[in-house]
Structure 1
Amino acid sequence: MGSEHRKPGNFATFDSIYGYLTSEYGFPVLASRSPYPHDKTLSHPIAELSVHPTLEAILHILNADLSSAHFLCRHMQNRPAWEGMYIHGLLHRVEGDYENAKAWYGDVADSECFKVVWSEGGLEGARDFIDGIKEFRDMKGGRELRERLSKTSEGEIDALVAWCKQQFGTEKVQDARQQAWVEPSEEHRAMAAKMIVGGEGWRNF
């Protein structure tokens, strides 16, 4: 599985890394059992792509490199960086901090990006999905539920990637500070100052 993505030198594009990560590790439902990336050797090639930070953050999330993804999301957690805010919610969903994820989803529910990704079900459907993941985690089983959640996760991430690619392309971003970063709100500044380790997932961001 994913052998076509293993060839040396084949990690030079967003699509090659995205294809490798999704074929090798799938679309995340439950939080990773390890606080470390799936493949530590990919962190540098992902950064070297210099794609728009939204797309880079998604690759890091798929590689379970949540620290790298969070570094990027922290620079995109205020309007009008709707995509970055949404990805921040996705990060919390993947790490297992479900209430925080639902809060971020609520913050971007009126954005065009979120409406396109969740064209069926909207915010209620997205929150039901997150509740389903928590239910699956707590009951530790249920093949039918796992398959449904996996399919929904794939649909969400694929649609989000398609949106970001359409908006920003996959060419190199010369200066993310000018092209992507936004000033954080006072609320988010205060939250960042109080970051702690723990909670339901590996970190509380």
Structure 2
Amino acid sequence: MTTDARHGARVRLASLLLPPVLAVALFVGWAQPWVQVTLDDGVRIAAAGDRTAAVLPAIAVASLALTSALALASPRIRPALGALLALLGALVVAVSARAAGDPVAAASSSVTELTGVEGERSVRALVDVATLTPWPIIVAVIGGALSAAGIAIALTSRMWPRPIQRYDRPESGDAGGQRSTPERSAAPPAVDADASDRQRDQSIGDWDALSDGRDPTAR
């Protein structure tokens, strides 16, 4: 294997391994608290990613599906799949930025679930303090890495080496590589009708000689 082929194989392996790792990291970040809210009566609420960024699991699953498709896609399709992966990463960054830009709105569903108060103005009136945890920033970084991986795949996937086929269809033939042709069965020998008639007449004559008391072999 040449140096370029080895380099292409390494790039391909890294491109296929990084998106699944980032997808798992998205699942982890989605389960963590993103916003800490303190109400005006002193009650504290922790709003996790399942409330502030409910779309993250769908993005993670789509990233895994795109990675699986990349492993089987042709060189012409890979850049498009890489571009889609980059768009998913940008969507993660946008979701994280939205939660970080307005923590109260991000945690409003958690506040409504606990207090029963609905409406943006009513929820904001109840909230005394809303602080962000590091997880929105961490998830935004993960999304940026996913987007960068998608761009790298779109630019380099045409140079990936072809996967080696382990099983090839064997060619029929002998050890020397020559095709073997089935031997034709020998045709049955032609039956000589005259000889058969002569043999039958001789047998009848022998029986007649025995019937007359003569020796059929004395001729």
When the two structures are superposed, what TM-score results if normalisation uses the length of structure 2?
A: 0.27
Structure with bigger gyration radius: 2
When the two structures are superposed, what TM-score results if normalisation uses the length of structure 1?
A: 0.28
